[in-house]
C-alpha cells in the first residue's frame, strides 16, 4: 500500500502542468460566436454593426476606411477635433494618390448601399452630418466629405 502511495506521488510530481493557451488562443468553451463579440481594451465597439464590417461590406480603400473610422468612432470629446483632423488628412492622402474610395466610387450609391450605411449610422448613433460625411466618403466625393467633416469640427468646438 505504501508503495502505491509513493508511486502515485512520484507520478503526480513528474506530470507536466497543463499548457497555457498561446497568444490569441482560447479554449473551445471560451470562444465567442464571432470575433465581433471580443472587446480588446475600452468599451467603444459595442455596436451590432461594427466599423470593420462596413469597411469590408463596401470594399473601402484603406485610407477611406481610416478616415471613416475617425469620423464615426466615439472618443473623448477633448480629442474629437484631433480625430476629425485625422479624417481629413486621410482623405487628402487618398486624393493625392488618386485612390478609389470603394466599390461604389463615383457611380452613385445604390438604394441597397444607402440603406446599409443608414443601418450602420443607426447602430452607431451617428449624427446626420456624420452620416452625410460617411456617404460622401464611400461615394468618393471627397470635397463634400471634407466639407461635412469641417462643419462637424466647428459644431463640436
pLDDT digits (tens, 9 = 90+) for 113-122: 999 999 999 9
Q: Give mean pLDDT, residues 80-92.
A: 96
Query: Which of 33-37, 45-49, 76-80 tops mean pLDDT?
Result: 76-80
Residues found in the chain? 157
∠ Cα 48 106 67 (to 5°): 45
pTM for this prediction: 0.73
Residue 101 pLDDT greater than 60, yes or no: yes
Contact (CB, 8 A) for 149 and 133 = yes
Q: What is the DSSP letter of 19?
A: P
Give Cα 110 to chain centroid, integer Å.
Answer: 23
Average per-residue pLDDT for the chain: 81
The Cβ-side half-sphere exposure at 148, using a 13 Å CA radius, reads 22
**Residue (of 107, 116, 105) closest to 138 by Cα position:** 105
* Share above pLDDT 70 across residues of the chain, in percent, rounded to a whole number: 68
Amino acid at each position: 500500500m505504501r508503495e502505491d502511495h509513493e508511486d502515485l506521488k512520484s507520478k503526480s510530481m513528474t506530470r507536466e502542468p497543463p499548457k497555457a493557451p498561446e497568444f490569441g488562443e482560447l479554449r473551445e468553451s471560451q470562444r465567442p460566436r464571432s470575433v465581433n463579440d471580443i472587446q480588446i481594451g475600452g468599451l467603444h465597439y459595442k455596436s451590432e454593426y461594427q466599423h470593420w464590417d462596413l469597411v469590408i461590406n463596401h470594399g473601402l480603400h484603406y485610407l477611406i476606411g481610416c478616415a471613416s473610422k475617425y469620423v464615426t468612432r466615439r472618443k473623448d470629446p477633448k480629442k474629437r477635433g484631433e480625430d476629425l483632423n485625422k479624417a481629413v488628412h486621410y482623405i487628402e492622402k487618398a486624393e493625392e494618390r488618386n485612390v478609389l474610395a470603394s466599390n461604389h466610387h463615383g457611380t452613385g450609391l445604390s438604394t441597397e448601399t444607402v440603406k446599409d450605411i443608414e443601418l450602420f449610422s443607426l447602430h452607431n448613433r451617428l449624427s446626420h452630418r456624420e452620416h452625410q460625411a460617411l456617404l460622401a466618403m464611400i461615394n468618393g466625393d471627397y470635397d463634400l466629405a471634407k466639407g461635412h467633416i469641417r462643419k462637424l469640427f466647428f459644431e463640436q468646438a
